[in-house]
Amino acid sequence: MENLHNWLQAANAVIVIICQFLAMVVIMVGIAKATRIYFADVLTPGRSEAAVKQGRLELGYSFSLALGFLIGASILKTTLAPTWADIGQLAAIIAIRTILNYFLLHDIATQSREGQQLELWSLFHRGKHKDKPSENE
């Protein structure tokens, strides 16, 4: 029975490290993608504002996924023989990360809606001008 407990502790520690590593990878990839989006679009005249928004959305998605991995890692850390102090600390960590994730996803949704509305508006006005006969006709 002691061997099983030791094996579970070791497996738990490995899984926690993997979750934390995945969170770091997701954040690094998100930063790289946001930077690529920014530099590709900022060189195009009139696209710098859109590039910043698109880069922020990419970072937001990455941070949200990374927070999920970190919450999972925190939960796994306290699964084997937790003390009340560990449980309280876990509750505080999860509460803070969940609140951060909520506001992050709210900001992403707001930015996405604004981007879609702007896109629809520009499509509408382009279509409106196409249907309008030219003065030369």
Mind listing the pLDDT tens digit for each residue in 75-116? 998 888 788 998 999 999 999 989 988 888 888 888 877 766
Task: Give the confidence band of 25 by pLDDT, cuts at 50, 70, 90.
Answer: very high
Q: What is the pLDDT of residue 33?
A: 92
Q: What is the pLDDT of residue 128?
A: 53
- 137 has pLDDT over 50: no
Nearest by Cα to 16 from 97, 98, 79, 74: 74
Burial 79-115 (b: 16+ CB within 10 A, else e): eeeeeeeeeeebeebeeebeeebeebeeebeeeeeee
Q: What is the percent of the chain where pLDDT is above 90?
A: 35
- 118 has pLDDT over 70: no
Q: What is the pLDDT of residue 121?
A: 58
Task: State pTM to two decimals.
Answer: 0.71
Q: What is the pLDDT of residue 22?
A: 97
